[in-house]
C-alpha cells in the first residue's frame, strides 16, 4: 500500500512538472530585441546576409513554439525552443554588430569622397578664375562654368545625402562632382598650355 502511494506521488509530481512547462518568454523577448536592434542598425542594407540568418533563426524558433502549442499540455517541452531562441539572439546580435561596422566604414568613405570633391571644385574654380577673357574664349568659358555649376550641384546633393546618412548615395554623387570638377580644371590647363604654346610660336 505504501509503495503504491509513493509511486502515485512520484507520478503526480512528474505530471505537475510537465504541466507547468511554459514557453521561454524571456529568451523569446531577448531574441526579438536582438533582431529589432539589427533592423535599427541598418542590417537590412549593410549586413543583409547576417540579417537574413537572424530572421531565419527567429522563424525556426517560432515554428518550434507553434509545434509545442499544438501539443497536449502534459506533453509540451520547450528545451528546443529555448535553444532556438538563444540562437536567434546570437544571430541578431551578429547582424547588428556587422551592420554597425560596415555603416561606420561607409560613413568614413562617404565623408572622404565629399572632402575630395570639395577640394577638386575649389581647384577648378581657381583655374576658371584665371582663364583670360579674350576673343574665342567666351563660349568655352561658359561651358566650363556650366560644368562647374553641375559639379557644385552634385556636391550639394552628396552633402545632403551625407546629412541623411544615405552613405551609398553620397559616394556616387561626390564622385560625379569630383569628375566634373577635375574635367573643368583639365580643360583649363590644356587651354592654358595651348595658349602659351601659341604665344611662343608668334
Does residue 2 surpass a pLDDT of 60? Answer: no
DSSP assigned state of 23 = -
C-alpha cell at 153: 550641384
Give the per-residue pLDDT at 142.
85
Q: How far is CA 2 from CA 5, 11, 13, 14, 15, in A?
A: 5, 14, 17, 18, 20
Q: In this predicted model, what pLDDT tens digit does every residue of 45-54 receive, in sequence order?
A: 999 999 999 9
Q: How far is CA 180 from CA 16, 58, 108, 118, 159, in A?
A: 77, 48, 22, 11, 16
Give the per-residue pLDDT at 135.
53
Stretch among 5-19, 110-124, 129-143 having the lowest mean pLDDT: 5-19
Q: Which residue has the higher pLDDT, 123 or 135?
A: 123
Give the per-residue pLDDT at 168.
87
Q: How many CA atoms lie within 13 A of 177 on its CB side?
A: 29
Stretch among 1-5, 127-131, 150-154, 178-182 having the lowest mean pLDDT: 1-5
Average pLDDT, the chain: 87
Amino acid at each position: 500500500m505504501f509503495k503504491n502511494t509513493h509511486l502515485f506521488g512520484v507520478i503526480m509530481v512528474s505530471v505537475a512538472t510537465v504541466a507547468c512547462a511554459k514557453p521561454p518568454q524571456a529568451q523569446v523577448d531577448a531574441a526579438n530585441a536582438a533582431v529589432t536592434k539589427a533592423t535599427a542598425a541598418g542590417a537590412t542594407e549593410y549586413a543583409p546576409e547576417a540579417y537574413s540568418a537572424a530572421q531565419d533563426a527567429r522563424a525556426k524558433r517560432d515554428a518550434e513554439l507553434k509545434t509545442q502549442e499544438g501539443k497536449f499540455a502534459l506533453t509540451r517541452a520547450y528545451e528546443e525552443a529555448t535553444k532556438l531562441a538563444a540562437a536567434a539572439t546570437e544571430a541578431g546580435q551578429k547582424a547588428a554588430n556587422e551592420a554597425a561596422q560596415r555603416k561606420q566604414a561607409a560613413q568614413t568613405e562617404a565623408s572622404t569622397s565629399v572632402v575630395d570633391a570639395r577640394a577638386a571644385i575649389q581647384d577648378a574654380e581657381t583655374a576658371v578664375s584665371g582663364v583670360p577673357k579674350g576673343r574665342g574664349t567666351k563660349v568655352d568659358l561658359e561651358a566650363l562654368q556650366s560644368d562647374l555649376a553641375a559639379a557644385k550641384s552634385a556636391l550639394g546633393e552628396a552633402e545632403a545625402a551625407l546629412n541623411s546618412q544615405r552613405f551609398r548615395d553620397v559616394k556616387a554623387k561626390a564622385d560625379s562632382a569630383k569628375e566634373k570638377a577635375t574635367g573643368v580644371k583639365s580643360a583649363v590647363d590644356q587651354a592654358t598650355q595651348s595658349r602659351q604654346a601659341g604665344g611662343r610660336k608668334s
